[in-house]
Structure 1
Amino acid sequence: MQAVQFSDHGDRDVIEYGEYETLEPGRNEVRIDIHAGALNHLDIWTRRGLPGVELKMPHIPGSDGAGIVESTGEAVSRFEPGDKVAVSAGVSCGECEFCRDGEPTLCVNYHLLGEHVRGVHAEQAVVPADNLVTVPDHVDWETAAAAPLVFQTAWRMLLTRGELKPGESVLVLGASGGVGHAAVQIADYAGAEVYATASTDKKLEYAREIGADHVINYEDDDFVAQISEKTGKRGVDMVVDHVGAATWQDSLKSLARGGRVVTCGATTGGQPETNIDRIFWNQLEVIGSTMATPGEVDDVLELVWDGTFEPRIRATLPMSETAKAHRRLEERNGFGKVVVIPDERYDR
């Protein structure tokens, strides 16, 4: 089969699209004919090399994908050939104390398809049956591939971990990215007053279309000053910050007393300076979140499948042009997700 892959960490030129061994599903696994995959920033970090993560090379990246079940392992009963499915990338052991307590995202052995082990950006993918969700027939392939990771992540961040309530105010940084544009929609759905930042006026127009009440161009304006002005110097109840070092101090400054910042990542670096005085004096909360539980995945994807939430697609490319897809993310071109399709299925 043909697959996106790399044998060394590095820049975009390490990415290849070529022959990879055909994989057989194990006892609890499913083999899928992939119709579409979608990129996330973690694909960039994986390609560059994550500290402490040793990959089996060549590595197939990709945590988001959707397709048709081609075959199943002997112990699989939930799916059968012909089923339309999407991948939910989080893998837990099912045996540790956190898994037993119903918190698999806290699993001591938690890892992600595509980031820590072989991913799904290929003509076919073999994944655990527990990592698949059923996709209704009316949902197109790009939506099915683009939705799972970012919408489950944003859903858990805002509603489960952040406990966002109707009438509260929330600032979403980087609203044009995958998690950001999902967070804007979820915050609006929850009845919050939504502030959103992006780097261009065009991106801000999109943010308004999907639910932002107030928008700030962070290239032109200091978003801390704008939040202060727009909230009468109060600040917001919650900041969604997946940017990291570049925005961390300003995220804390944007919070009202008793507010909280929720984070699921750090695209500009994971070791920012932190003003601890501000945290304890203003009684702020710093809340981390990763992926979602199976129940949370089902809840949010039901709202994607029925059209309540919309994964925006900034570009669709053949898998052989995955390096260009990485460039789209790295250069922050466009709004929403980048989708890649196996070359044999790409007919644009």
Structure 2
Amino acid sequence: MKAAVIEKQGGVEGLVYRDFPDPEVRPGDVLVNVKACGLNYFDIFVRRGMPGLPVKLPFISGGDIAGTVAAVGAEVRGFKVGDPILVDPMTDEGMVGEEVQGGMAELVRVQHQFVIPLDKRLSYERAACIPANFGTAIRMLHTNGQIQKDDLILVLGASGGVGTATVQVAKAHGARVIACAGSDDKCARLKDLGADHVVNYSAEDFSRKAWAISGKKGVDVCVNFTGGDTWVPSLRALKRYGKLLTCGATAGFDPKEDIRYIWQRELRVIGSNGYLKEDVTAGMLAVAEGKFQLPEIRTFGLSKLGEAENLMEARDFFGKIVLIPDWSGEQA
């Protein structure tokens, strides 16, 4: 098979599009013919290398996988060759594309219990936008964050895949949302997705703006998966007993800290890592039924993975980037 392989951790020059051995199908596995694979920031972390995230090279990243069944193991029931499917990447063996060889390839092997029949109302490209984005948002806001109706929720990095899903999941629960992005155009699109207020953080201090919107009481919840220099301003924006929810650190995982806000306001900092198959399935059905919108999808041929990752790192896009195997070129 062809695959975009991480030969060396570091820059995108370590990515090589080449032949790679087909996965070995074991009795409980489903072999997936990948039709689309969504790009996430954890793919950047895997390629760069990150403390606490060892990767045995050569390695293939990519966890948001949609495709068809290419083969099934001897013990698998309920799936047949050709069935359209979506993958829950949080498997018993580890996360697909982070700990287990992933979907930036023509074929990928997945334990059968983490394969979801794809709703036929969805294309493969649209389906590949769902697992990490809506699975993460549903688990973070509901299971871990336990958000309440009428909560005022501040969402940083709201223009990316997880961000746009977070805005919509929060609104569907009856929350009020302040969505932050780095341009007026992105802010306008977030308004279209249902955000009550938007903040262009390249032009305004998001923490001060959120404090003003809250009537100088502070927000109930801040969703921060950026880290870096946004961390302390996020704490400042919270009300007494407020919650800071985090599921990543795209701008840096070792930010400056100011714990005075945490003890003085009795804040709760809550981490969220991953999601369950039920979360992915719920997200898939909600998108298929039109309850949630998918933002703009930008597609790249798999051989252009380096270009796609450069675009993600530059934050010069809105929505989701999807890789398509066996297709060269780029489509806006």
TM over 0.5: yes
Q: Which amino acid aligns with 1:64?
A: D
Whether contact under 8 Å (1:314, 1:334) holds in the other structure is: no
Q: Give 2:46's aligned residue.
A: 46
SS in 1 for 2:128: helix
Q: Give 1:220's aligned residue.
A: 203
Whether contact under 8 Å (2:228, 2:253) holds in the other structure is: yes
Gaps of 5+ in 2: none
Identity %: 37
Q: Give 1:191's aligned residue.
A: 174
Could you tell me how far apart the structure 2 residues matched to 1:153 and 1:141 are? Answer: 19
Could you tell me how far apart the structure 1 residues matched to 2:328 and 2:310 are? Answer: 22
Task: Answer with 293-302 or 223-232: which moved more.
Answer: 293-302
TM-score by length of structure 1 reads: 0.91
Q: Give 1:69's aligned residue.
A: 69
Whether contact under 8 Å (1:25, 1:126) holds in the other structure is: yes
Could you tell me how far apart the structure 2 residues matched to 1:218 and 1:17 are? Answer: 37
Could you tell me how far apart the structure 1 residues matched to 2:54 and 2:254 are? Answer: 22
Could you tell me how far apart the structure 2 residues matched to 1:232 and 1:252 are? Answer: 16
- How many residues get paired? 331
SS in 2 for 1:174: coil
Which residue among 270, 273, 277 is the counterpart of 2:256?
A: 273
Task: Answer with 195-204 or 294-303: which moved more.
Answer: 294-303
Could you tell me how far apart the structure 2 residues matched to 1:33 and 1:275 are? Answer: 48
Q: Give 2:275's aligned residue.
A: 292
Residue 7 of structure 1 deviates from its aligned partner by: 1.2
* Residues 11, 347 of structure 1: alpha-carbon distance in 2 compared, 3 angstrom cutoff: closer
Q: Give 2:21's aligned residue.
A: 21
SS in 2 for 1:247: helix
Matched, 1:130 2:123: no
Residue 10 of structure 1 deviates from its aligned partner by: 1.4
Which residue among 238, 248, 261 is the counterpart of 1:255?
A: 238
Q: Give 1:83's aligned residue.
A: 83
Residue 245 of structure 1 deviates from its aligned partner by: 2.1
Could you tell me how far apart the structure 1 residues matched to 2:330 and 2:107 are? Answer: 18
Q: Which amino acid aligns with 1:313?
A: E
Could you tell me how far apart the structure 2 residues matched to 1:15 and 1:115 are? Answer: 15
Which residue among 213, 229, 240 is the counterpart of 1:246?
A: 229
Could you tell me how far apart the structure 1 residues matched to 2:84 and 2:9 are? Answer: 33
Q: Which amino acid aligns with 1:73?
A: G
Cα RMSD of the aligned pairs, angstroms, is 1.6
Q: Give 2:60's aligned residue.
A: 60
Whether contact under 8 Å (1:56, 1:117) holds in the other structure is: no
SS in 2 for 1:204: helix
* Residues 344, 278 of structure 1: alpha-carbon distance in 2 compared, 3 angstrom cutoff: closer
Whether contact under 8 Å (2:119, 2:284) holds in the other structure is: no
Matched, 1:33 2:33: yes
Which residue among 112, 122, 125 is the counterpart of 1:142?
A: 125
Q: Which amino acid aligns with 1:112?
A: M
Could you tell me how far apart the structure 2 residues matched to 1:12 and 1:278 are? Answer: 39
Query: Residues 308-334 of structure 1: CA distance to partner in whole angstroms, max 9, x if unpaired?
Result: 112323411111111110011000011
Q: Which amino acid aligns with 1:246?
A: D
